[in-house]
Structure 1
Amino acid sequence: MTASQTTVDFDIAIVGGAMAGATLALGLAKLAQELKRPLKVALIEASRPGGQHPGFDARSIAIAQGSIFELTRLGIWPKLAHLGTPIGNIHVSDRGHFGMTTLNASDFHLPYLGQVVELERVGAALFELLEKQQISLYCPAKLVSIRANIDANYLLLDDGRELSAKLVVAADGLNSVVRRDFALPLEQVDFEQVAVVANIGIDKPHGQWAYERFTDSGPLALLPMTNVDGQARMSLVWALSPAMAQQMLTCSKSTFLASLQQAFGYRAGQFIEVGERHAYPLKLSSMPRPIYQRTLFIGNAAQTLHPIAGQGFNLGLRDLVCVIDAVRGALLAGDDLGGAKLTHHYLAQRSQDRASTINNVEFLVRGFSNQHWPLVAGRNIGLRLLSWCPPLKTPIARQAMGWKSPITSA
């Protein structure tokens, strides 16, 4: 920093402006308006949504019904709803075995079980909303380093500017610079799988059906998407061994579609087109303590999940809602925004949900990737029981749709 340059002071600095960080910034802006309290918020993001933005690429995610309920409360979902494709039904099956069940929104008197959104389109919409709020947006800008102090944390950006913040929220993903600079531990479980991700064209309307199919190599998920030029589309996440994933990335379109059809079957129709294929290794990562001095970690900076249950963003949303609630409490009580009382309150509030969600996802991955016959028989009997006894689906649906979902019973 040059002698003529001064540090810009903020109450809260958010590092990372993808889904979690952008949503948190909007939620904090709404909180300041509700409480009629000044709240200086900075959002640091390396690039605007578009082809170069890793958080808003061609991928799609499923936002659970309970998460949409919360996004609506934050005033965000009404601005994004036109980008969503409803999930009206979910079909779960085990390839080569008799296990199968369905979840249907109508059984729970709900309009949908969730919504599928394309990250790039949502990113552009969120940035439009951010630019209308009293938020200091540092973009494009990268965090170079962070240092903790008693009264504030100091953040150095790649253009030489320095910010201070009473509270820093790290939303900068799996390779968090904030976590790296503070040398905080990250526990990882390698599933020895690679997710192949692509958009798939099908020969008939998807009818708002989503599919989860468990195969020998791992789970295969298809999510309904909006049509493009009359073409029905679905978003694919296919967990494969590293060697098989490499083959699926480099083979011809026709070979890929034929292999996918063989693994999935024809329940969704015939696969007739595939877009650009991407891949990423599947690991479960989690911070034992997602806090540090005047710092909270949320979303993928705090934990990354296997996509088997589509819970990654939904868990991250619960993180950021907890941050907003903690900031609200501190403002009303006149407490230090980044003090130990706030950070430890966040830690206590998030511990049980994080642990149970992470454990449940790991259990699903292990249980449905194992071909040992007692486990195969057990999980298929379980799936059949859900079909034969609909009331058993209610707790499963509650967990799938997230918290605060106005679900009744099947």
Structure 2
Amino acid sequence: MTSAHTSTQPLAVDIAIVGGAMAGATLALGLAKLSATLSRPLRIALIEAHVANHNHPGFDARSIAVAHGSVFELTRLGIWPKLQHLGTAIENIHVSDRGHFGMTELNAKPLGLDALGQVVELAQVGKVLFEQLAQSAVRVFCPAKVTQILAQTSGHLLTLDNGTQLHCQLLVAADGANSVVRQHLGQPTEKIDFDQTAIVANITTDQAHQHWAYERFTQTGPLALLPMSSASNSFKSNSFKSKSFASKSSATPTQSRFSVVWALPPAQAHELVNGDKTEFLAALQQAFGHRAGRFVDVGQRVSYPLTLSYMPRPVYHRCIFVGNAAQTLHPIAGQGFNLGLRDVVGLLNVLEQAFSAHQLTNSSTQVDVGSSAIVHQYLVDRQADRDSTLRNIEFLVRGFSNQYWPLVAGRNVGLRLLSWLPPLKRPVAQTAMGWR
């Protein structure tokens, strides 16, 4: 799929995106849509190191929750209509504190909505996004890796592992938590280690999920269950679908699948992720309870350490960092992709405003998409949302992974108040749905 470029001169592009997973691919498609409205189309390049199959670290067999606000933005960009057949609606969310009286529900119907969000499997989404990219004006280099970045006054000179060179006015880093761009440019990150490890797996239960999602706070950390489509209804034509995360037995009409994210102390997580399947299901059942039914099967279990890492300033000279390249969140509340998508939408909005303002001046010059004015405006526009989300995530992790009795009492009273006073739910639901 690598785009060919045989000239000895660098390929000149306006915007080069490094990283073609969810954030990068979405940004590229959004830029292509914006470009179609301009008198001079944007020259866009997308550089991705991995082919979009189940071995892709950004398009593996995990599932993510796409909040209602994110569905709205993806629809506005023309992307969601191509993905909606892959989604499983979250109509209700049950939140509880194990061993205590605190619990509440968030429901779509009282808010006048069909769903609070959608659950999609990344392996399926990756195939669809790259099919859309192949039909767009975006020049895709895949598989290709950036081996050198040379910052220049007018932009960045990128060298790829096949020898191709590109010169861009604006460089966008969308290449994940271990961003190669960030390393090349020597940009710092801050890191908070929660001393937790997440186990991720797909499980089968003996009863239908009825479009319920669950967030249960346990003594070891949060335990989340996201409803998934039945195995029989999955995207069977998707040759990228990984069998490693899938449950070995297909869910019957009276069964259902959930994506599980379970935070545990590292030693306990290591034992459970490598132990017997029956023992894992028993431990999971004990931690969660029977509200979702009996857990009857589990696919491959994987684990990763839970941290919150972020760039204090997710910008550099003619460079903007988005998604996990800018910040990597604890999975509590499922805000990682949704915050990254707001980064993407924020950049698209800044560029659209710049082109609109330029058109009003009737200037014969072109918009410099990597100018300090555009980069700074992006930083200013994203700061409040980004800072508040990072603070809220840290507060939730520390507040609900703590057995200090005043905190336990406070959080349980808070959950009960949400149940007793329904008007209080609306701002909580709006935050969960990514409404800004």
- Give the TM-score normalised by structure 2: 0.91
Can you give the 5+ residue segments of structure 2 that lack an aligned partner in the other structure?
Answer: 1-5, 233-251, 359-365
Match in the other structure for 1:287: 311
Can you give the 5+ residue segments of structure 1 that lack an aligned partner in the other structure?
Answer: 405-410
The structure 2 residue matched to 1:308, chosen from 332, 339, 342, is 332
Classify the secondary structure of the residue corresponding to 1:34.
coil
RMSD, aligned α-carbons: 1.3
Measure the CA separation in 2 of the matches of 1:301 and 1:152: 20
**Does residue 350 of the first structure (1) align with residue 353 of the second (2)?**
no
Is the contact made by 1:330 and 1:336 (CA closer than 8 Å) also made in structure 2?
Answer: no
Letter in 1 for 2:147: V
**Does residue 85 of the first structure (1) align with residue 71 of the second (2)?**
no
Classify the secondary structure of the residue corresponding to 2:178.
coil
Is the contact made by 1:145 and 1:177 (CA closer than 8 Å) also made in structure 2?
Answer: no
Displacement over 4 Å in runs of 4+:
none
The structure 1 residue matched to 2:261, chosen from 234, 237, 241, is 237
**Does residue 247 of the first structure (1) align with residue 271 of the second (2)?**
yes
Measure the CA separation in 1 of the matches of 2:163 and 2:217: 50
Match in the other structure for 2:412: 380
Measure the CA separation in 2 of the matches of 1:100 and 1:115: 22
Measure the CA separation in 2 of the matches of 1:107 and 1:37: 46
Match in the other structure for 1:121: 124
Match in the other structure for 1:29: 32
The structure 1 residue matched to 2:71, chosen from 68, 72, 75, is 68
Aligned pair count reads 403
Letter in 2 for 1:308: I
**Does residue 361 of the first structure (1) align with residue 393 of the second (2)?**
yes
Measure the CA separation in 1 of the matches of 2:353 and 2:408: 48
Cα drift, residue 130 of structure 1: 0.4
Letter in 1 for 2:388: S
Match in the other structure for 1:408: none
**Does residue 401 of the first structure (1) align with residue 425 of the second (2)?**
no
Letter in 2 for 1:284: L
Cα drift, residue 95 of structure 1: 0.3
The structure 2 residue matched to 1:264, chosen from 246, 263, 288, is 288
What whole-Å deviation, never above 9, does each CA across 1:315-372 have from its counterpart, x for those lacking one? 0001011111122223331531101000000000011110000000000000000100
Match in the other structure for 1:371: 403
What whole-Å deviation, never above 9, does each CA across 1:229-272 have from its counterpart, x for those lacking one? 33510000000010011011111110000000000000000000
Measure the CA separation in 1 of the matches of 2:178 and 2:72: 30
Measure the CA separation in 1 of the matches of 2:80 and 2:196: 33
Is the contact made by 1:29 and 1:133 (CA closer than 8 Å) also made in structure 2?
Answer: yes
Match in the other structure for 1:322: 346
The structure 2 residue matched to 1:173, chosen from 171, 176, 200, is 176
What whole-Å deviation, never above 9, does each CA across 1:146-188 have from its counterpart, x for those lacking one? 1110012011111111111000100001111111111111000
Letter in 2 for 1:361: I
Cα drift, residue 35 of structure 1: 3.0
Measure the CA separation in 2 of the matches of 1:191 and 1:78: 37
Measure the CA separation in 1 of the matches of 2:403 and 2:107: 28
Match in the other structure for 1:10: 13
Letter in 1 for 2:168: A
Measure the CA separation in 2 of the matches of 1:47 and 1:179: 18
Q: Cα gap change, 1:68/1:220 in structure 2, threshold over 3 Å: closer, same or farther?
A: same
Match in the other structure for 2:231: 228
**Does residue 53 of the first structure (1) align with residue 85 of the second (2)?**
no
